[in-house]
Amino acid sequence: MTEEQEPKHHFNKDSSWFLRQINSRKRAMPVFAIAASMVTKRSEANLLKFIEVHSPNKEYDADGTISKYTIPTGMNQRYSFLKSSFDDFAIFSSSLPRMALISIVSLFDAYLTRLLKNVYLVKPELLNGCTRQIDFSELVGFGSVDAAREHIIDKEIESVLRESHAAQFSWLEKKLNVKLTDLPSWKDFIELTERRNLLVHADGKVSSHYLEICKSHKIDIDSGLKRGDQLEVGQDYYQKACNCVTEIGIKLNQVLWRKLIPEELEQAENSFIQSTYDLLLVKEYQLAEKILDITKNGGFKKLNFETALYLTINHAISLKGQEKEKECIALLKKTDFSALSYKFKIANQVLTDKFDDAAETMRKIGPDGELSESQFREWPLFRWFRKTEQFKTAFKDIYGNEYVVIEEKWKDSDDDDDDDGNGDGDDDNNEVERKTPVKISPTQTSTKEPETSAPSTMPEIPTIQ
C-alpha cells in the first residue's frame, strides 16, 4: 500500500484510539474516586457539625458513632438539605467504581464494533451468506449499493453485539477460522463482562446465570458465593479489569489484522511495537509483559530479525521494570548480541546492569550514530541507566552538556525514583481530617420532630457557619 492510497481498514487507528480511551479510564478513575470521597467527607462533616450544634438530644454508640438524635422543629428544612447532600454524595462515591467498570466494558463493545467494520471492509465476501432482505423502497432510499451495504453491515454487527461476549468471540472464530478464546486472560474477561451485566441489570447481585457461566468456563470464584450475594468493584479489581480489557483488545486487533491481511505484517508489527512501547513509557510493566507474551506463540509471525529484537527488548524492559531480573536475563540470553549493531548491544548491556560497558558503547555511538540524544533521554530502555554516573559522564562527553532531569512531582507523590519527571507516583495522603469525633453512615436513621420537604435541587456543598 503506497502512502497516497487510503487504507481499506483502520486497525492501527482503532488500536491507538482504544489505548487512549482505556488508559484515561484506568488512570483517572482513582483520582475521581478520591475527589468523590473528599466531597462526601466534607458533606458528612457539615452534617455532623449541624447535629452537634443544634440537636438537644444525642446518643452515641461505643465507638463514638451517633445512633440517635433529635432535630428541633425550626431546623428540619436545613437538616433535610444537609442529610440529603451527604446521602447523595455517599451513594455516588460508592457507585463510581461500578460505573467505571460498566464504562470499560462499553468501551470494549464500541471498539469491537470498529474491529468488526474493519473485518467486513477487508473481507466483504462475509456478507455473501447474509440472508437479510431489503425491499425495493428501502433500496431506493439508500441511493446506492454501497450505502445499502453499509446498512447491512451495521445490522449484522448489531446482531453480533446483542449476543454474549463469549458468543461474539465464537462467531469471529467460526467466520475467520481462527482461535481467539485460548488467551490467558480469557476467563477473567468473561467474568468481568458477566459482572458488568449484573451491575447493569441486577444491582450487582449474583444470579444463577452468573454462577452457571463461571462454572461452564471454569472460572475461579469464591466457593462460598451464592445467588443473591452482592458483587462489588474494588480498586484492585478495577485496575485488573482495565488491564484485562486492554490485553484482550490489543491481542484481538493483532490476530484479526494479521489473519485478514498477511501482506501487511510490517504495519501490524509496527503498530504492536508502538503499543507496547507506549505502555512502557508510563511504566505499565505488568500489562506490557502480558501483551508481549503473545510473541512466544509460534503462530505469531515476526516481520524480520530486527523487529523481533525490538519485541524482545520491550519484553525484557517489562520484566526488569517488575524486578524480574532472572527472567529478564534468561530472555536476553536467547539472543547473541555480540555481532549486532551498537543500539542492540547497548540494550543488552543496560538491561543486564553492565553500565560501564554501556557507557563505552554510548561513546562509540556518538552524537550522530544510531541513537539520538532524545532517544537516550526518553527511551524506557535507559530508565535505569540514566540514574548512573556512567550515563551522566558519557552524556556530557558526547553532547557537551550536563544531563539534567527536570522533575515536577505531585505534592504528595511517593515515587522517589521517578527519573523521567512524569509525576506518576501514587498519592497516599488524600484523607481529609475530621475535626469532630462522631460519625454517621449514609443509611443512619434519626429521631426527629415533623419534617418539611427538602429542597428539590442541591446546587452546592453547604458550609456550616
Domain total for the chain? 1
**pLDDT score at 139:** 54
**pLDDT score at 23:** 94
**pLDDT score at 66:** 84
**pLDDT score at 143:** 59
Residue 391 lies in domain: 353-421
Neighbours of 140 (CB within 10 A): 9
Distance CA 455, CA 372 (A): 63
Residue with cell string 455517599: 90
Residue 117 lies inside a defined structural domain of this protein: no
For 97, residues 6+ apart whose C-beta sits below 8 A from its C-beta are 29, 33, 232, 233, 234, 235, 238
Q: Which of 203, 206, 212 is nearest to 228 (CA)?
A: 206
Q: What is the pLDDT of residues 284-310, one digit of tens each?
A: 999 999 999 999 887 889 999 999 999
Contact 201, 193 (CB under 8 A): no
**pLDDT score at 442:** 40
pTM: 0.80
Residue 216 lies inside a defined structural domain of this protein: no
Backbone angles phi, psi at 235, to 5 degrees: -60, -45
Residue 184 lies inside a defined structural domain of this protein: no
Residue 405 lies inside a defined structural domain of this protein: yes
Residue 365 lies inside a defined structural domain of this protein: yes
Contact 81, 464 (CB under 8 A): no
> Long-range CB contacts (< 8 A, 24+ apart) of 175-183?
175/119, 175/126, 176/119, 176/123, 176/256, 176/259, 176/260, 178/255, 178/256, 178/259, 180/252, 180/255, 183/247, 183/248, 183/251
Residue 382 lies inside a defined structural domain of this protein: yes
Distance CA 7, CA 263 (A): 13
Residue 395 lies inside a defined structural domain of this protein: yes
Residue 185 lies inside a defined structural domain of this protein: no
Handedness of CA 438, 441, 446, 451 (dihedral sign): positive
For 397, residues 6+ apart whose C-beta sits below 8 A from its C-beta are 363
H or E segment and range at residue 99: helix 76-122
pLDDT tens digits for the chain (465 residues)?
444 455 589 999 999 999 999 999 999 999 999 999 999 999 999 999 999 899 998 888 988 888 899 999 889 999 999 999 999 999 999 999 999 999 999 999 999 999 999 998 898 887 666 555 555 556 556 556 567 667 777 888 888 999 999 999 999 999 899 889 888 899 999 999 999 999 999 999 999 999 999 999 999 999 899 999 999 999 999 999 999 999 999 999 999 999 999 999 999 999 999 999 999 999 999 999 999 999 988 788 999 999 999 999 999 999 999 999 999 999 999 999 999 999 999 999 999 999 999 999 999 999 999 999 999 999 999 999 999 999 999 999 999 999 987 655 544 434 444 444 333 434 433 333 333 333 344 444 344 433 333 333 333 333 333
Distance CA 184, CA 104 (A): 19
